[in-house]
Amino acid sequence: MKMLRRCAACSLALLGLMQTLCSTPAQGADPSSASSGSAFRQAWRHRARPMTSPDPAESLRVAQYVLRRVPAAEPAQAAAAHTRLATALLDLQRFEEASQHCRQALRSYRGREATAAYAQVLQLLGRIQFAQGDTGQARQTFLRTMQLPANRTSLAGQARLHEHLGDLYASQAAWAQALRSYAQAYAAWRRVGNARSAAVALHAIGRMHYEQRHFSQALYYLRLSTQQAQALGDSAGTSHLLLSMGDVYLAVNNDELAHGYYSRALKQLPRHHTPPQLLATVYQALAAASDSQGNSAAAQRYLLRALPLVRQGGSAVQLGELYRTLTRLYRRQGNDAAAFTVLSRYVALQDSIAAEERAVQVEELRARYEAEKKEREIVLLTKDRVIQAATLRRQALIRNGLIAGTVLLLMAVVALVRSRAGHRRINRLLERKNASINRQKQELDRLNRTKDTLFSVISHDLRSPLSSLYSLLSLLNLGKLPAERLAAHSERLTRTLETTLRLLDNLLNWAASQMQGTTVRPEPLRLDAVVEECRCLLLGDAERKHIELSNLLTEPTYARADLNMTRLVLRNLLSNAIKFTPSGGTISVGVVRQGDMWCVRVCDSGVGIASEDQFRIFGDLEPHSTLGTANEKGIGLGLRLCKDFVQRNGGRLTFESVPGQGSTFCFTLAALQPGPAAEALAAEPFRPRRRAGQWPQNAPR
């Protein structure tokens, strides 16, 4: 009775599990679910590397025989034999032994790290670490291999390393990084001229786009790879590619096309020597497409064809997935007896799957522990050798010192001190050079960002007024424009061109300052007259916005600075004040004496500067610009030029701003000391030298 009750309980549990497995509908399922093509083929997420030899066991026997015959005095031959042995063991999945022979080969190549053979062995070690599941150590090994001189000059070596890195990133679902690595591998293979490897890299690029759900790009690269594979006559590769294209169409719910590509993939498979697992994968894909089309009978046939193939060459995980799919299919067909039978096999298989997974995890942990243990032993042995060598050297020095005497010892000490001093001096010089290079790189990055911003501004802001001017001239040529409309268009075009001229003025001055072409020419000048000149130039802009623009310098104020730079600074500060002051506001320019300097203050009652924008106002990192109160545009160079020109004249540019209450910009210039120059300037009336929009005299044109 107890046995009967236990069997009944097991049957109820299986029925409950059957309902759980069949609760998700098969049609219209998400592409990432277990019923989609990609879920049938987890191995397709990461490209499987083919075995180096078709018969690894035979390769292992040959390698062992060669290793026994290698003379002890030939380390290069011994290293080659260890490498061949490690490769065969990797194909046989005996990873720990493969790692030991690979490290023995590296020790045999000690002192010849620049050779191509050493690079190949180090790359093989990375593959072994990756196969063991130690992805972190494998990545470090691949990157270390890439830095070797032999790989820096070998495009094929670089391509293989990028492929291994792509496989590693793909195993961690880091699709973007894997895509970059595969793209670099493809570029290298194209330069080498290896069409077959380039086609494989294109296939991997398409798979990475598929994993990121970039389906159109995935199809583009998969078609390119298919064309190359067909041109090479690679039927197996073409079958793989057609299978991937079917996955893409199945993911976008185009079941008919997916089924067509899966059928073509089946026809492309070689008649002989096709791996059972690959054939089973194709059958599973056809079953998924047929099921999505509602053809459950065809899906059942394909799954039953795949079942013996998976039992022959597949994994327990793949077999369990096949049992789950059959259970859902039988359940939807109403064949509960068959569903119960398959589900019973699935439940029985779960124990073996769990045991297999635990065995893999234990093997990975054991392999990692053994590798770390070996590394520690190697480090300890190296330290022992270093200590022994140091002890022997110390004893030799003591013996030589007793023989040679005190004079020789003193000479050695002096030479050692001078050598260390020279090394310290060289290290300091290298540090300064590195710091200088870093600063130059940062400055170059900043200039590149500024250049990109300027190109985007020039392409828009300079085209608009020229287009307006061209339109006005076209209307004038037609001769049908009324006088009042001509006057209105002319006035608006004049304002636009004035803004454009100031934009060009700032651009040319900025370009001159960046090319170190602007030379500061200080001369005596009257600040009050320069302020009045700039005020008059911008008075029209202020009146159009109903802004009061006042000059508070009522007495002659003498300073010594570059006149053109001073005009540009004042004009830019006043233009900014007008730009960010609303209608009815006020702007004033005043001056305060601070010792030997004049502090010029430009105050406005505008909108002020937000606290989060104040640190970017001078554009030290990149040009910063915002729209004015009347949607006026800028390019973010005005204040940057002002700061540069004020500093070149020995002054400082600062500002204070309260959002909603206005801003005050202050810059200092050297005051003109009493003397003949001040008297001559007081006797000579001030005459403006140029109008707004004209280039500075010393700026390159």
Write the pLDDT tens digit of every residue in 344-380: 777 777 766 677 667 767 776 776 677 677 777 878 8
3-state SS class at 627: coil
Q: Are residues 433 and 538 in the same domain?
A: no
Does residue 470 belong to any structural domain of this protein?
no
Contacts of 444 (CB under 8 A, 6+ apart): none
Q: Are residues 673 and 561 in the same domain?
A: yes
Evaluate if residue 692 carries a pLDDT over 50: no
Last residue of a domain, one of 153, 173, 189: 153
Question: Mind spelling out the 3-state secondary structure of 540-590?
Answer: HHHHHCCCEEEECCCCCCEEEECHHHHHHHHHHHHHHHHHCCCCCCEEEEE
Mean pLDDT, rounded, for 638-643: 80
Mean pLDDT, rounded, for 586-607: 92
Mean pLDDT, rounded, for 645-654: 90
Q: Are residues 657 and 539 in the same domain?
A: yes
Long-range contacts of 256-259 (CB under 8 A, 24+ apart): 256/293, 258/37, 258/285, 258/289, 258/292, 259/286, 259/289, 259/290, 259/293
Are 123 and 142 a contacting pair, CB within 8 Å? yes
3-state SS class at 484: helix
The domain spanning residue 133 has which CATH number? 1.25.40.10
CA–CA gap between residue 189 and residue 225 (Å, rounded): 13
| pLDDT per position as a tens digit, 97-141 | 888 888 888 888 877 767 788 888 888 888 988 888 888 888 888
Output the pLDDT for position 689: 44
Q: Are residues 439 and 527 in the same domain?
A: no
Evaluate if residue 505 carries a pLDDT over 60: yes
Mean pLDDT, rounded, for 496-506: 65
Does residue 111 belong to any structural domain of this protein?
yes
Output the pLDDT for position 673: 80
Share of the chain above pLDDT 90, in %: 13
CA–CA gap between residue 698 and residue 700 (Å, rounded): 7
Output the pLDDT for position 80: 84
Q: Binning pLDDT at 50, 70 and 90, where does residue 283 land?
A: confident
Q: Are residues 149 and 42 in the same domain?
A: yes
CA–CA gap between residue 538 and residue 523 (Å, rounded): 24
Q: Are residues 107 and 35 in the same domain?
A: yes
Evaluate if residue 208 carries a pLDDT over 80: yes
The domain spanning residue 656 has which CATH number? 3.30.565.10
Per the structure, the complete domain to which residue 417 belongs is given by 408-458
* Pick from 644, 540, 529: nearest CA to 589: 529
* Across 297-306, 598-607, 635-644, 666-675, least confident range: 635-644
Considering just the CA atoms, what is the radius of gyration of the chain in Å? 40
Last residue of a domain, one of 129, 153, 177: 153
Output the pLDDT for position 32: 36
Output the pLDDT for position 20: 44
Does residue 335 belong to any structural domain of this protein?
no
Output the pLDDT for position 621: 54
Q: With the C-alpha atoms ordered 217, 221, 224, 229, is the resulting torsion angle positive or negative?
A: negative
Evaluate if residue 239 carries a pLDDT over 60: yes
Q: Which residue has the higher pLDDT, 476 or 593?
A: 593
Give me the chain's average pLDDT, please. 77
Mean pLDDT, rounded, for 493-500: 66
Q: Are residues 413 and 532 in the same domain?
A: no
Evaluate if residue 203 carries a pLDDT over 90: yes
Evaluate if residue 334 carries a pLDDT over 50: yes
Contacts of 476 (CB under 8 A, 6+ apart): 486
Output the pLDDT for position 603: 94
| pLDDT per position as a tens digit, 520-565 | 889 999 899 899 988 888 888 888 888 898 999 888 889 999 888 8
Output the pLDDT for position 694: 37
Evaluate if residue 425 carries a pLDDT over 60: yes
Output the pLDDT for position 468: 64
Q: How many domains does one find in the chain?
A: 3
* Pick from 247, 272, 271: nearest CA to 259: 247
Output the pLDDT for position 510: 56
Output the pLDDT for position 201: 92
Q: Are residues 450 and 537 in the same domain?
A: no
Contacts of 354 (CB under 8 A, 6+ apart): none
Q: Are residues 660 and 529 in the same domain?
A: yes
Output the pLDDT for position 313: 64
Secondary structure percentages of the chain, helix, strand, coil, to 5: 70, 5, 25
Evaluate if residue 638 carries a pLDDT over 50: yes
CA–CA gap between residue 566 and residue 667 (Å, rounded): 10
Output the pLDDT for position 236: 81
> Per the confidence metrics, is the pTM higher than 0.85?
no
Q: Binning pLDDT at 50, 70 and 90, where does residue 599 land?
A: very high
Output the pLDDT for position 457: 52
Long-range contacts of 233-237 (CB under 8 A, 24+ apart): 234/196, 234/199, 235/268, 235/269, 235/270, 236/268, 236/269, 236/270, 236/274, 237/196, 237/199, 237/200, 237/203
Mean pLDDT, rounded, for 74-102: 84
Evaluate if residue 515 carries a pLDDT over 60: no
Evaluate if residue 451 carries a pLDDT over 70: no
Mean pLDDT, rounded, for 392-421: 87
Q: Binning pLDDT at 50, 70 and 90, where does residue 37 land?
A: very low
Q: Are residues 440 and 552 in the same domain?
A: no
Q: Are residues 413 and 556 in the same domain?
A: no
| pLDDT per position as a tens digit, 143-181 | 888 888 877 778 888 889 999 999 999 988 899 999 999
The full length of the chain comes to 701
Does residue 115 belong to any structural domain of this protein?
yes
| pLDDT per position as a tens digit, 452-471 | 655 655 554 566 566 667 66
Last residue of a domain, one of 97, 123, 153: 153
Does residue 700 belong to any structural domain of this protein?
no
Does residue 374 belong to any structural domain of this protein?
no
Q: Binning pLDDT at 50, 70 and 90, where does residue 472 land?
A: low
Numbers of helices and strands, H then E, in the chain:
25, 7
Does residue 476 belong to any structural domain of this protein?
no
Contacts of 576 (CB under 8 A, 6+ apart): 638, 639, 665
Evaluate if residue 635 carries a pLDDT over 70: no
Output the pLDDT for position 507: 60
Output the pLDDT for position 35: 36
Q: Are residues 536 and 631 in the same domain?
A: yes
Evaluate if residue 2 carries a pLDDT over 70: no
Residue 463 structure tokens: 């085209």
Are 282 and 261 a contacting pair, CB within 8 Å? no
CA–CA gap between residue 605 and residue 577 (Å, rounded): 8
Look-up of token digits 């104020």: 557
Evaluate if residue 616 carries a pLDDT over 50: yes
Does residue 502 belong to any structural domain of this protein?
no
